[in-house]
A and B are shown apart, each in its own frame.
Chain A
Amino acid sequence: MEKLSYVGKSLPRKDAEIKATGAAQYAADRDFAGMLHAAAVRSPRPRIKILSISDAKARKVPGYVTLVTYRDIKGVNKWPVVMQDYPFLPEREARFAGETVALVVADTARAARKAAALVEIKYRELPYVDDPLKALEKGAVKIYGRDNVISSFVIKRGAVDEAFRKAAFTVEGEFSTNYQVHAYLETQGSVAVPEAGGGMTVHSTTQCPFYVLDAVSAALGIPYHKVKILQTVTGGGFGGKEDVPALVASHAALCAAKTGRPVKLIYGRKEDFQSMSKRHPGWARVSYAADKNGKITACRVKYVLDGGAYSTLSPIVLWRGTVHAAGPYKIPNVGIETFAAATNKVPAGAFRGFGQPQICFAQESLIDELAEKAGLDPVRFRLKNLLEPGDRTVTGQRLKSSCGLSELVQAVRSRSGWDKKAATPQVRGDIATGIGFSAVYYGVGLGAKGRYLDRAGALVNVYKDGSVGVNVGNAEMGQGALTVLAQIAAETLNAPYAGVRVEEVDSSKVPDSGPTVASRTTLMSGNAIIEAATPIRERVFKTAHSMLTGLGADPSGGMTAAGGVFSMGGRSVAFKAVVAECWNRRLKMAEQGWYAAPRTTFRLRDGQGDAYGVYSYSADAAEVEVDLKTGVTRVKKIWAAYDVGKIVNPRLALGQAQGGILQGMSWALYENLVYKNGIMVNPNFTDYVIATTADKPEYDITFIEKPYAEGPYRAKGMGEVPLIGVAPAVANAIKNACGARVKSVPLLPEKVWKELKKG
């Protein structure tokens, strides 16, 4: 293995100081001369026919400037996401409560909000659908296409019915999961600044600056080269700032275009809950079959996601869920069918895990049931069936060497003391203690369904003073991209880490690099940086060698490069001096890089073929205490192990793991968004509860780094895999502790209690 100076070390986070001192500029912190403020006017009901919109009363608010409706759209009134069914502003029909119908612009944010509340929408209510399973029934009110199906996929492999007939053991269960709200601490927001000559610069909190670029250009009807997107310091994303920031930014841009002045649009928490994307509620019926030796022989899945009123990202969320729906096991016979159904509720979209956590909860809960029927311990049962290098997934993809799943399972098994604890759950007074397990795989990157977007660019610029500027197209949103990518750039160039700066995305500096999602940033932008930096590295190394030779160094032992210093024959020269000499020699010290993901072969017809370039893996064990009187569950400790390839920055990776685990645990136990008659009941942090310091479990985290040859310094992807397996591990632990099998997330006390009463 090569000797590394920066990659693999817990170097200080690049943006920590500006954030710890309050100096970091988020979208709401940016002000411009002459700036106005916008506020949204929202649909009050699940589905309405818009008859008229009047600002007669709003006009009386001091500071009122104008009303912006679909009539002000100079471009095309279709937000370009995956399918184009979501208008920037509705013309005749609004399809969910909270949908932006119009915008008010005023000279202060307070005036804009006050005036927006006084805008009158005259409407007629239309029949609506709020249940995804009912939406799929014949005779349901048609709100989307001919059958309310946004999207649908299949995986067909082997002979499923026959395998079930011949099985020694079978299990079947229906499971459901509720929404999850991203609850990023920074709400959505954007500031649009008109430029001379008809251009628009948009400052946006976003994971996906190029989605924002697509949308603003479409809404304004101006070419891409007149639009510039500057990503602001982004206060958390988790998928919630994948697609929807493009809508918010387009609204700000429409207001700015109409008024000719900079316009700031910052969401309040309530409207952010009501109108921005969510984790899809999921429903699944899963069955497994096994032979008498405990080998899984077949799996059948029907999986439905509640897509909400517009398709947004539902097709690709559903596709990822489909590919991973049977779990990380060798299964010869598989029948999976999946649907995203339309309802008149907030459009659901991307959230860390992206369609996998919902179905993982179902199938990993059921794997425990199957192990029990087969008379095997859940971990031993999994070990018999886990995917290993050389095995084929349910899509027929053969896994290469970077697959450490069975080692992860063994690591968690031994670190958690699984064998003893699982066999002997404890009850003391009213408190039952138990332990539960799960295993997960996660396709890194966009995979076959997103293949056209799966590329990334980078610009590496080595300045005369030896400092290095790097531009990429993927975003820092808290995960540490600026730091990890700086480590990769420093390593490749042998530049001092402190002198490397990776900037937030500027859409005019790098080509469209796709979205910052799917745990793809280290892999995609990292490889693009390496491609850009490699020719510069060659020039720097060659120059260093000639400088050392000129200093009289003996070249026979060869030159070494480490930590920003080049050494040969007892002499050394620093990166800074070498760069100055490169500039003297008029060498090219800036380069563009590009990386496109490997080819995939997945076929939609039968769901067979290579779905993703590579997979990351996790194993989780959760230890819980259940109060038998109340059903209240507390997670004491989570042991987790990950194979995400080479770890570029261990401290940051640990932060991703701990944060992902707590988000997963919070979804599993507490988070409960309630809709009643198509209206969201609890759009706030008072009534929608997320985990706090008091709920935090103990974490025990292990990394087993299986190198991925295609990855930058052998890395794969880290961000999402820690969340996915937590809910089923907790559910399985509750079952182990007290016998209650709860089949719906969140695992609320009343649900546990009800199962306990059934006895």
Chain B
Amino acid sequence: MRPFALKCKVNGLAIEREIPSSRSLLDFIREDLGLKGTKEGCGEGECGACLVLLDGKAVNSCLMMAVQLHGKELVTIEGLKGRDGGLHALQKTFMEEGAVQCGFCTPGLIIASEALLRRKPDATLEDIKQELTGNLCRCTGYEKVLSAVEKARDNRNA
């Protein structure tokens, strides 16, 4: 198979690289770029652990091909930063509220929440619940996850 000449932006950096056209976006992120914060939980788009921001929208990277990144901008959990370059607002509220337990779903939950708050800065609790139905978490019972997202929304709008 002919390699594909991929041009894209990842976490703010321009990237040009030849990749096999059969490479999944998740494998490209984890193996080729070595960004291990994006997780594989199921490999079929059910759990949300592999979510990344593609042009600002949350997508399951396990269901996409790396070639679909061409000409686009990708942000992974490693690329999320606060205004001061430190922790992102959602990372802070997830930590403060106790929304992190085993942590395997956490990057995906933060990415999904960020996509929602960018699209809908005044998202209601019901909006947040609906948005996060695609992110499985087996530890927390979701209560603290929801309150972390609400707190980040309130901080952002304050």
Which residue numbers of A lie inside 8 Å of B, CB to CB?
Answer: 10, 12-13, 15-26, 28-29, 110, 182-187, 233-238, 268-269, 477-480, 651-652, 654-655, 657-663, 684-686, 690, 692-694, 696, 699
Contact = CB atoms under 8 A, between A and B. Distances in A.
B36 to A, nearest CB: 4
A26 B146 CA distance: 25
A28 B142 contact: no
Contact of A659 (B94, B103, B141): B141
A22 B138 contact: no
Contact of B104 (A235, A651, A657, A692): A235
B133 A694 contact: yes
Contact of B100 (A13, A182, A236): A13
B129 interface: yes
Nearest to B97: A651
Nearest to A12: B95
A650 B102 CA distance: 17
B84 interface: no
B73 interface: no
Contact of B106 (A19, A684, A699): A19
Given A22-B36, A234-B102, A690-B138, A658 B44 contact: no
A185 B41 contact: yes
Contacts of B140: 655, 658-659
A708 B37 CA distance: 41
Contact of B91 (A20, A237, A699): A20
Given A20-B91, A652-B98, A692-B132, 16 more contacts: A12-B95, A13-B100, A20-B107, A21-B78, A184-B138, A234-B102, A236-B138, A269-B41, A655-B140, A662-B141, A685-B42, A692-B133, A693-B135, A693-B146, A696-B129, A699-B143
Contact of A236 (B42, B91, B139): B139
B132 A693 contact: yes
Interface string B135-152: 111111111111000000
A202 B37 CA distance: 22
A20 B106 contact: yes
Contacts of B136: 183, 185, 685, 690, 692
Contacts of A694: 129-130, 133
Contacts of A26: 36, 39, 104
Give the top 9 A-B pairs by smallest Cβ distance, nearest first: A22-B37, A19-B103, A478-B102, A235-B104, A658-B141, A22-B77, A685-B46, A662-B141, A29-B36
The residue in A22, A480, A662 that gathers the most chain B C-beta atoms within 10 A of its C-beta is A22
A130 to B, nearest CB: 26
B5 interface: no
Contacts of A236: 101-102, 104, 138-139
B54 interface: no
A484 B145 CA distance: 21
B21 to A, nearest CB: 14
B105 interface: yes
Contacts of A237: 102
Contacts of A699: 141, 143
B129 A693 contact: yes
A417 to B, nearest CB: 21
A235 B141 contact: no
A20 B110 contact: yes
B66 interface: no
B38 A22 contact: yes
- For the side of the interface on B, what is the size category? 35 or more
Contacts of B101: 236, 478-480, 655, 659
B87 interface: yes
15 contacts: A16-B103, A17-B91, A20-B95, A22-B37, A23-B78, A185-B136, A235-B103, A269-B43, A269-B44, A655-B101, A658-B141, A686-B44, A692-B142, A693-B132, A699-B141
Nearest to A31: B34
Interface string B109-138: 010000000000000000011101111111
A655 B139 contact: yes
B49 interface: yes
B129 A23 contact: no
A480 B133 CA distance: 25
A182 to B, nearest CB: 7
A20 B42 CA distance: 20
Contact of B87 (A21, A269, A479): A21
The residue in B49, B76, B141 that gathers the most chain A C-beta atoms within 10 A of its C-beta is B141
B91 A21 contact: yes
A235 B95 contact: no
A655 to B, nearest CB: 5
A275 to B, nearest CB: 16
B46 A233 contact: no
A694 B130 CA distance: 6
A20 B138 contact: no
A141 to B, nearest CB: 35
B133 A16 contact: no
B42 to A, nearest CB: 4
B37 A659 contact: no
B17 to A, nearest CB: 17
Nearest to A664: B141
Contact of B47 (A21, A22, A25, A685): A685
Given A26-B39, A185-B39, A685-B44, A238 B103 contact: no
Interface in B5-40: 27, 35-40
Nearest to B101: A478
Interface in B41-65: 41-44, 46-47, 49
Nearest to A19: B103
B150 to A, nearest CB: 12
Contacts of A28: 36, 39-40
Contact of A19 (B27, B46, B100): B100
A16 B95 contact: yes
Contacts of B76: 22
Given A185-B41, A685-B47, A17 B98 contact: no
A741 B135 CA distance: 33
A21 B100 CA distance: 11
B98 A186 contact: no
A690 B105 CA distance: 14
Contacts of B139: 236, 478, 655, 659
Contacts of B38: 22
B42 A186 contact: no
A185 B94 contact: no
Contacts of B138: 182-185, 236, 238, 659, 663, 690
Contacts of B41: 185-187, 269
Contacts of A479: 101
A690 B46 CA distance: 11
Contacts of A17: 87, 91, 95
Nearest to A696: B142
A182 B41 CA distance: 13
A560 B97 CA distance: 32
Contacts of A652: 98
A686 B46 contact: yes
Nearest to A18: B103
Contacts of A22: 35-38, 76-78, 107
Nearest to B143: A658
Nearest to B137: A185
A369 B103 CA distance: 42
Contacts of B39: 26, 28, 185-186, 235
A268 B42 CA distance: 7
Contact of B95 (A13, A658, A684): A13
A20 B87 contact: yes
Nearest to A658: B141
Contacts of A660: 141
Contacts of A686: 44, 46
Contacts of B100: 13, 15-16, 19-20
A185 B95 contact: no
Contact of A235 (B87, B102, B130, B132): B102
A730 to B, nearest CB: 15
A92 B144 CA distance: 50
